[in-house]
Homo-oligomer: A and B are copies of this chain.
């Protein structure tokens, strides 16, 4: 059961990497940033939303910044904090990678289920997620 999940994620990661040179973890960072009103998030919040440690995100952000997909900006209200902000190039890469990823998800996962089943699955996972966020 857990095995199927591992295989699915590995396949999705490999596919995205092969097609766009973009690991799934990077894709998720860009996606998170793009989902906010001003396309920027604090490093700390970003780390927890993509399930990385703070140091893990620091290094991932280094790579993304080196590739010009994000840039760091300082925080006015709290000089300790730093923002990661999507660059135009970052948004561009995200836009071009999205169709690949979406079709991979559709092919490898969504296509196996009907609408009702998917709704059930989403509800099931919400239960598990709610639990893990408590602890």
A residues bordering B, Cβ < 8 Å?
1-11, 51, 108-109, 112-113, 117, 120-122, 124-129, 131-133, 135
Overall SS of chain A's interface: helix
Chain B nearest CB, measured from A75 CB (Å)? 26
Other-chain contact of A51, B1, B7, B121, B128 (Cβ < 8 Å): B7
Which of A5, A108, A113, A121: most chain B CB closer than 10 A?
A5
* Identical copies in the complex: 2
Shortest beta-carbon distance from A96 to chain B in Å: 21
The answer to whether residues A124 and B113 also contact, given A6-B51, A51-B10 and a CB cut-off of 8 A, is yes
A63 vs chain B, min Cβ distance (A): 20
Residues from chain B with Cβ under 8 Å of A5 in the complex: 2, 5, 9, 125, 128
Contact among B113, B122, B124, B132 with A7 in the assembled complex (CB-CB below 8 Å): B132
List 29 A-B pairs, Cβ < 8 Å: A1-B122, A2-B5, A2-B8, A2-B9, A3-B51, A3-B129, A4-B125, A4-B128, A4-B129, A4-B132, A5-B5, A5-B125, A5-B128, A6-B9, A7-B51, A7-B128, A7-B129, A7-B132, A8-B128, A10-B51, A108-B128, A108-B131, A112-B127, A112-B128, A112-B131, A113-B124, A113-B127, A120-B120, A121-B124
